[in-house]
Chains A and B, each alone.
Chain A
Amino acid sequence: MDERQRCHLEEVDPVNGKAPDRPEAFRLRAGAGSGERMTLQQTIPPEEAGPKLACRNVWKLFGPHPRRFMTKHGNNPSLEDLAARNYIGAARRVTLDIYQGEIFVIMGLSGSGKSTLVRCMSRLVDPTIGEIILDGRDLSRVSERELIELRRHKMGMVFQHFGLLPHRDVIDNVAFPLEVQGIGRKTREKRAREVLELVGLKDRECNMPNELSGGEQQRVGIARSLAVEPEIWFLDEPFSALDPLIRSEMQEEFLRLQRMLHKTIVFITHDFDEAIRLADRIAIMKDGEVIQVGTAEELVTAPADDYVVEFTSKVPRAKVMSAQSIMEAASPQAGKCRPLTEECTVHCEAKVEEVAPAILANGQRLSVVDDDGKVVGYLRRKTVLGVLFEGEQQ
């Protein structure tokens, strides 16, 4: 986090507080995902945005008497304790904050408890112990009525296994959350058509769910969760049933939407590429426990333990490492001068992958600049190539 915070501090630094002329570097990093991060950081300073959703020591055990078991082990049973009694710790001591407008990705192997954690967050499943705090309110304390209201207006969810209602056709499925709120047929169907168009299923509105392919069903599920314009959006492997082409289209669409709507998103995926593309932060889970939370770059450059190392070992470095993490720092004096030409500068947060074409075209060295256009370091062709081809060297 420190890298990004420094950037951020520099950004609001009153000394260099002149309006930055948009450097070319921005065009370089206008790729998907990173643009998001930019807007996020500029629009919402972290100190103001208290967590939208917070988990405090959340545990979810499956077994005969989870509560009793927890108290017996002082609310902190070890993995061995669980195994000895045949309990499954689907979520264990999970504490994390999710901020307004953030895309928070949860990753982990199958069975590591991702779906369970998200179900706890939406209170489809009651955590065994722990608090889920949404907008400052502990969800386990709200009454059933309030919970229903919350779900009607604040939450949306896309299910791993779609969860479409088999007895309703596509448009009725999509309009269902609106129907439940008591919105009239005309209005809700109009809205449903809008979101259906968004997911590219306009002409399938009269089909029943079992007449659709897996990917189409998934898109109906996405449309349904969008129909109410939720504030916080839970997506459990929303794109995993889609083919690569549609998947990348949907990711694109998803990011576009997010740029407009600034929802708070909790996103589960198995696909690291997807995570890198979408995530502001990634949480890695193992056996119900969150091992590390951080940006993709942090996971790669500063893994918390061997498991994270292994988990991220197949990730192409060039996609996650930023220019500033591999540059040679510029001397303090040099920092004061402006780069000569805009073509040979890159932004400090640009990914190595994005920088590569520029350095290949421009010879040996590139200047790395921060948001104000101040040169903070230099990038050598050799280092960039090293990162780019690291996969092949290993």
Chain B
Amino acid sequence: MTTTTKDRALQSVLFSAAADCRTLARRGVERLRPLAIVLAIVAGVGLAGRHLGWIDAYPDSWIVPLKDWISAAMAWLLHECNLGLFTFKEMTRSISWLISWPLKGAQGLLYQGIDLSILGGSWRLPHLPWAAVVGIGALLGLSLQGWRLAAMTAGGLLYLVLFGQWESAMETLASVIIAVPLGALLGMVLGIISARTKTAEAAIRPVLDLMQTVPIFAYLVPILFLFGFGPVSAMIGTIIYAAPPMVRCTLMGLRSVPADVVESGLVSGCSRRQMLFKIFLPSALPEIMVGLNQVIMLSLNMVIIASMIGAGGLGYDVLNALRQLKIGRGLEAGLSIVVLAVILDRLSQAAARKSKMRERGIGWTRRKSLAAAAAVIILTGGASVLWDGFYVYPESWSVTTAPFWEGAMTWINLHFYDFFYGLRNLLLIYILMPVKKFLVELPWAGVVAALAFISYRLQGVRLLLVTVGLCLFITVTGYWEKAIITVYLCGIGALLSSLGGIFIGICAAGHRRLTGALNLLLDTLQTLPAFVYLMPCVILFRVGDVSALIAIVAYAVVPVIRYTLHGISQVPTPVLESSRISGCSKRQLLVKVQLPLALPDIVLGINQTIMMALSMVVITALIGTRDLGQEVYMALTKADIGRGLVAGVGVACIATVTDRLMQAYISAIKHKTGQTP
């Protein structure tokens, strides 16, 4: 009898195991089926391409000369368009004239001095002594938060003084100080308008999407065209580049004001104006402050690029050093930008925190701050009269570490040349080249068809139409091959970043201290302008795809780490507890509970990583890649508007298609794991 029971038990185990295997197999097949279909589509179209050449490679004669049309239209706008009382050119020039005034004021105050010769005589108001700026910075830190912030601000500014970066830094600071409030204001106004009506939002949102996906270079060209070369147009470029996140944050803040807060305002009898200023804006203040912070960060990110259309200062120094491969100088100037970024970031965050507490009378009053600032200026002014060195720091006293860095680089190159050279060749020959070759040889029609199929599977006809439309835009304007090269670099970069980032994220999740340290590191990495990543790569790997790839990976790895950490940590405690009670080991907890629940977040992080990789790909054009970015960059140097814009929109198309597909994928997963509300 026991044997029969045993048999039966064994039988049932075997049976269920077999069933398990079968379902597993079936599931596997089901998972693989879409992939198989995709491959079949590409292969099928490829076969068809043997007979129909246009399927394989888009014929040159079919290319629509969109870029020439755009260039012609711009030329007309600039040279012939007349708006009645004045011409278009006069309008743009007067705008830049208007903006030039505050800029001149800030520059005069910070490092140039203000020419008062209009008032008669040869009067000249001196600029602020560096000691005064350092003092005021410290004072700001003190009044906003406390001694630590004051010390940090003063320390950072002293670094600029000591390393002889002062004048460049002040030039940069002057344009940032003017650009940030203008950009923030512009963004806030647009945000408020788009929060008001659905139509306004529908009009503004696609523009924002486009602006954030078109590489910056692309819209620098028209700005250059309209506003001329110089610091003012650089600033206009900065404002346009930095405003979109503010629009988004404002909109999000205004939209997320809880319904009953709004209702309690209404019931209290607020007028529309009062609703805006007493309910909506204050409730949205945290988001708006995040937006302001973003504006500051983006403005500083733009510093180097802006120097391509005429901004001076630190950005110009970095660009110059990069062009001449002067690693040490570039690094010092780059570091100075980071220092400025960190200072402004911390000060603005402290200001945000303080604005919340002002009502309670914490911190300094305005009068006290003003008095202290005046005292600092008078004191340092007096000191400058006594000793010139307080006014302009003597050059002979400044130090530089440039020779050290250059020495280090030479040393590395001398001793590790073989290693880096070998690594580079390995990557190139065994990974990069084959993938590139494979992708370039794919028939364009096949790729489009496969993408269309995926879009349809994920969401339906609308996504399919979007995908096909955007792909066709790229093809029709004749940029298919360049787009594929962009995709190849960006794709490999994003893949490597994602793998590494997810791994790092998983390892760090759950260790509180490690997470804290990692977050600090990520914060710092995010304040680095993209260009800074290029320098060491170029030194180690020379110009070319490998340097580009490594720069891309380093730059784009941040979001995926961040989102992985966040995704894992936001799994609700009750879920964790109930799983632990069910007897999950740590590993099972990770694999069966945390990762599946964190998947939407992780995919979102990957999406961000792809976007960042894409924006970096464009910048790597500077070190000689041959993709769409290169096209845009060339257009900038040749001031060819049409070419720049079309190639830029091409990049935006790639970004949009990837973004939409990823978003659709995320909502599919969310739906599956029941995380939709």
Residues in chain A within 8 A of chain B (CB atoms): 119, 122, 124, 148-153, 155-157, 159-169, 172, 176-177, 179-181, 206, 221, 224-225, 228
A163 adjacent to B271 (CB under 8 Å)? no
Kindly report which residue of chain B lies nearest to residue A149, judged by CB atoms.
Answer: B269
A172 adjacent to B359 (CB under 8 Å)? yes
> Which residues of the other chain, B, contact A177 by a CB distance below 8 angstroms?
268-269
The answer to whether B385 has its CB under 8 Å from any CB of chain A is no
B261 adjacent to A166 (CB under 8 Å)? yes
Q: Contact check: which of B260, B268, B282 meets A152 at CB < 8 Å? A: B268
A-B contact pairs, 17 of them (CB 8 A): A148-B271, A151-B267, A151-B269, A155-B267, A156-B267, A159-B260, A161-B258, A163-B261, A164-B264, A165-B261, A165-B264, A165-B283, A166-B283, A169-B360, A176-B268, A180-B269, A228-B268
> Which residues of the other chain, B, contact A180 by a CB distance below 8 angstroms?
265, 268-271, 274, 278
Q: Contact check: which of A119, A148, A167 meets B269 at CB < 8 Å? A: A148
Query: Interface 1/0s, chain B 360-371, versus A by CB < 8 A?
Result: 100000000000
Q: Which 5 pairs between the two chains have the least Cβ-Cβ distance? A: A152-B269, A163-B260, A163-B264, A177-B268, A151-B269
Instruction: Tell me how far the C-beta of A236 lies from the nearest C-beta in chain B, rounded to whole angstroms.
Output: 9
Tell me, in angstroms, the Cα distance from A156 to B263 when the chains sit together.
11
A161 adjacent to B266 (CB under 8 Å)? no
Tell me, in angstroms, the Cα distance from A228 to B267 when the chains sit together.
11
Instruction: Tell whether A124 pairs with B263 under 8 Å between CB atoms, given A149-B269, A169-B360.
Output: yes
> Which residues of the other chain, B, contact A225 by a CB distance below 8 angstroms?
267
The answer to whether B285 has its CB under 8 Å from any CB of chain A is yes
Tell me, in angstroms, the Cα distance from A165 to B280 when the chains sit together.
10
Instruction: Tell me how far the C-beta of B673 lies from the nearest C-beta in chain A, rounded to whole angstroms.
Output: 25
The answer to whether B580 has its CB under 8 Å from any CB of chain A is no
Instruction: Tell me how far the C-beta of B186 lies from the nearest C-beta in chain A, rounded to whole angstroms.
Output: 24
> Which residues of the other chain, A, contact B347 by a CB distance below 8 angstroms?
none
Kindly report which residue of chain B lies nearest to residue A145, judged by CB atoms.
Answer: B271
Tell me, in angstroms, the Cα distance from A169 to B356 when the chains sit together.
10
Tell me, in angstroms, the Cα distance from A124 to B278 when the chains sit together.
18
The answer to whether B296 has its CB under 8 Å from any CB of chain A is no
Q: Contact check: which of B261, B267, B270 meets A164 at CB < 8 Å? A: B261
Kindly report which residue of chain A lies nearest to residue B264, judged by CB atoms.
Answer: A163
> Which residues of the other chain, A, contact B265 by a CB distance below 8 angstroms?
165, 180
Instruction: Tell me how far the C-beta of B375 lies from the nearest C-beta in chain A, rounded to whole angstroms.
Output: 31
Q: A163-B264, A164-B261, A206-B360 are in contact. List 8 more A-B contacts (CB 8 A).
A: A155-B267, A157-B267, A161-B258, A163-B260, A165-B283, A177-B269, A180-B271, A228-B268
The answer to whether B279 has its CB under 8 Å from any CB of chain A is yes
Tell me, in angstroms, the Cα distance from A163 to B265 when the chains sit together.
9
Tell me, in angstroms, the Cα distance from A206 to B266 when the chains sit together.
24
Instruction: Tell whether A165 pairs with B279 under 8 Å between CB atoms, given A177-B268, A180-B270.
Output: yes
Kindly report which residue of chain B lies nearest to residue A123, judged by CB atoms.
Answer: B266
Tell me, in angstroms, the Cα distance from A276 to B360 when the chains sit together.
43
> Which residues of the other chain, B, contact A122 by a CB distance below 8 angstroms?
267
Q: Give the residues from 247 to 274 in chain B that come closer than 8 angstroms, CB to CB, to chain A.
A: 258, 260-261, 263-271, 274
Instruction: Tell me how far the C-beta of A211 lies from the nearest C-beta in chain B, rounded to whole angstroms.
Output: 12
Tell me, in angstroms, the Cα distance from A36 to B288 when the chains sit together.
50
B356 adjacent to A167 (CB under 8 Å)? yes
Tell me, in angstroms, the Cα distance from A225 to B266 when the chains sit together.
12
> Which residues of the other chain, B, contact A157 by a CB distance below 8 angstroms?
263-264, 267
Instruction: Tell me how far the C-beta of B253 lies from the nearest C-beta in chain A, rounded to whole angstroms.
Output: 11
> Which residues of the other chain, A, contact B268 by a CB distance below 8 angstroms?
151-152, 176-177, 180, 224, 228
> Which residues of the other chain, A, contact B258 by a CB distance below 8 angstroms?
161, 163
A124 adjacent to B360 (CB under 8 Å)? no
> Which residues of the other chain, A, contact B270 by a CB distance below 8 angstroms?
148, 180
Instruction: Tell whether A159 pairs with B264 under 8 Å between CB atoms, given A148-B271, A165-B279, A167-B283.
Output: yes
> Which residues of the other chain, B, contact A159 by a CB distance below 8 angstroms?
260, 263-264
Kindly report which residue of chain A lies nearest to residue B266, judged by CB atoms.
Answer: A124
Tell me, in angstroms, the Cα distance from A394 to B285 when the chains sit together.
59
> Which residues of the other chain, A, contact B261 by a CB distance below 8 angstroms?
163-166
Tell me, in angstroms, the Cα distance from A228 to B269 when the chains sit together.
11
Kindly report which residue of chain B lies nearest to residue A177, judged by CB atoms.
Answer: B268
Kindly report which residue of chain A lies nearest to residue B278, judged by CB atoms.
Answer: A180
Tell me, in angstroms, the Cα distance from A165 to B264 when the chains sit together.
8
Instruction: Tell me how far the C-beta of B418 lies from the nearest C-beta in chain A, rounded to whole angstroms.
Output: 61
> Which residues of the other chain, A, contact B264 by a CB distance below 8 angstroms?
157, 159, 163-165, 221, 224
Instruction: Tell me how far the C-beta of B360 lies from the nearest C-beta in chain A, rounded to whole angstroms.
Output: 6
Tell me, in angstroms, the Cα distance from A166 to B258 when the chains sit together.
10
A163 adjacent to B269 (CB under 8 Å)? no
Kindly report which residue of chain B lies nearest to residue A151, judged by CB atoms.
Answer: B269
Kindly report which residue of chain A lies nearest to residue B286, judged by CB atoms.
Answer: A167
> Which residues of the other chain, B, contact A176 by a CB distance below 8 angstroms?
268, 278
Tell me, in angstroms, the Cα distance from A151 to B269 when the chains sit together.
5
> Which residues of the other chain, B, contact A151 by a CB distance below 8 angstroms?
266-269
Tell me, in angstroms, the Cα distance from A162 to B263 when the chains sit together.
10
B260 adjacent to A162 (CB under 8 Å)? yes
Tell me, in angstroms, the Cα distance from A122 to B268 when the chains sit together.
11
Instruction: Tell whether A181 pairs with B269 under 8 Å between CB atoms, given A167-B283, A167-B356, A169-B359.
Output: yes
Kindly report which residue of chain B lies nearest to residue A159, judged by CB atoms.
Answer: B260
> Which residues of the other chain, B, contact A206 by a CB distance below 8 angstroms?
360
Kindly report which residue of chain A lies nearest to residue B279, judged by CB atoms.
Answer: A165
Instruction: Tell me how far the C-beta of B252 lies from the nearest C-beta in chain A, rounded to whole angstroms.
Output: 16
Tell me, in angstroms, the Cα distance from A164 to B356 when the chains sit together.
16
Tell me, in angstroms, the Cα distance from A122 to B279 when the chains sit together.
19
Tell me, in angstroms, the Cα distance from A294 to B665 when the chains sit together.
55
Kindly report which residue of chain A lies nearest to residue B282, judged by CB atoms.
Answer: A167
Kindly report which residue of chain B lies nearest to residue A173, judged by CB atoms.
Answer: B264
Tell me, in angstroms, the Cα distance from A119 to B258 when the chains sit together.
16
Kindly report which residue of chain B lies nearest to residue A148, judged by CB atoms.
Answer: B269
Tell me, in angstroms, the Cα distance from A180 to B276 when the chains sit together.
12
Instruction: Tell me how far the C-beta of B66 lies from the nearest C-beta in chain A, rounded to whole angstroms.
Output: 40
B285 adjacent to A167 (CB under 8 Å)? yes
Instruction: Tell whether A168 pairs with B359 under 8 Å between CB atoms, given A159-B263, A163-B258, A163-B264.
Output: yes
> Which residues of the other chain, B, contact A166 by a CB distance below 8 angstroms?
261, 283
Tell me, in angstroms, the Cα distance from A168 to B264 when the chains sit together.
13
Instruction: Tell me how far the C-beta of B481 lies from the nearest C-beta in chain A, rounded to whole angstroms.
Output: 47
Instruction: Tell me how far the C-beta of A10 lies from the nearest C-beta in chain B, rounded to whole angstroms.
Output: 42
B269 adjacent to A161 (CB under 8 Å)? no
Query: Interface 1/0s, chain B 278-299, versus A by CB < 8 A?
Result: 1100110100000000000000
> Which residues of the other chain, A, contact B269 by a CB distance below 8 angstroms?
148-153, 177, 180-181
Tell me, in angstroms, the Cα distance from A162 to B266 when the chains sit together.
14
> Which residues of the other chain, A, contact B279 by a CB distance below 8 angstroms?
165
Tell me, in angstroms, the Cα distance from A153 to B269 when the chains sit together.
8
Kindly report which residue of chain A lies nearest to residue B271, judged by CB atoms.
Answer: A148
Instruction: Tell me how far the C-beta of A368 lies from the nearest C-beta in chain B, rounded to whole angstroms.
Output: 45
> Which residues of the other chain, B, contact A119 by a CB distance below 8 angstroms?
263
Tell me, in angstroms, the Cα distance from A169 to B357 when the chains sit together.
10
> Which residues of the other chain, B, contact A156 by a CB distance below 8 angstroms?
267
Instruction: Tell me how far the C-beta of B101 lies from the nearest C-beta in chain A, rounded to whole angstroms.
Output: 35
Tell me, in angstroms, the Cα distance from A90 to B261 when the chains sit together.
21
Tell me, in angstroms, the Cα distance from A346 to B267 when the chains sit together.
45
> Which residues of the other chain, A, contact B271 by a CB distance below 8 angstroms?
148, 180
Tell me, in angstroms, the Cα distance from A172 to B274 when the chains sit together.
15
Tell me, in angstroms, the Cα distance from A224 to B359 when the chains sit together.
18
Tell me, in angstroms, the Cα distance from A303 to B403 when the chains sit together.
95
Tell me, in angstroms, the Cα distance from A157 to B269 when the chains sit together.
11
Kindly report which residue of chain A lies nearest to residue B281, judged by CB atoms.
Answer: A167
Kindly report which residue of chain A lies nearest to residue B268, judged by CB atoms.
Answer: A177
Tell me, in angstroms, the Cα distance from A249 to B581 when the chains sit together.
42
Instruction: Tell me how far the C-beta of A46 lies from the nearest C-beta in chain B, rounded to whole angstroms.
Output: 29
Instruction: Tell me how far the C-beta of B85 lies from the nearest C-beta in chain A, rounded to whole angstroms.
Output: 39
Instruction: Tell me how far the C-beta of A324 lies from the nearest C-beta in chain B, rounded to whole angstroms.
Output: 41
Instruction: Tell me how far the C-beta of B365 lies from the nearest C-beta in chain A, rounded to whole angstroms.
Output: 17
Most buried by A among B264, B266, B271, B285: B264
> Which residues of the other chain, B, contact A155 by a CB distance below 8 angstroms?
267
Tell me, in angstroms, the Cα distance from A179 to B277 when the chains sit together.
13
Tell me, in angstroms, the Cα distance from A161 to B264 when the chains sit together.
11
Tell me, in angstroms, the Cα distance from A167 to B274 when the chains sit together.
15
> Which residues of the other chain, A, contact B356 by a CB distance below 8 angstroms?
167
Tell me, in angstroms, the Cα distance from A169 to B361 when the chains sit together.
12
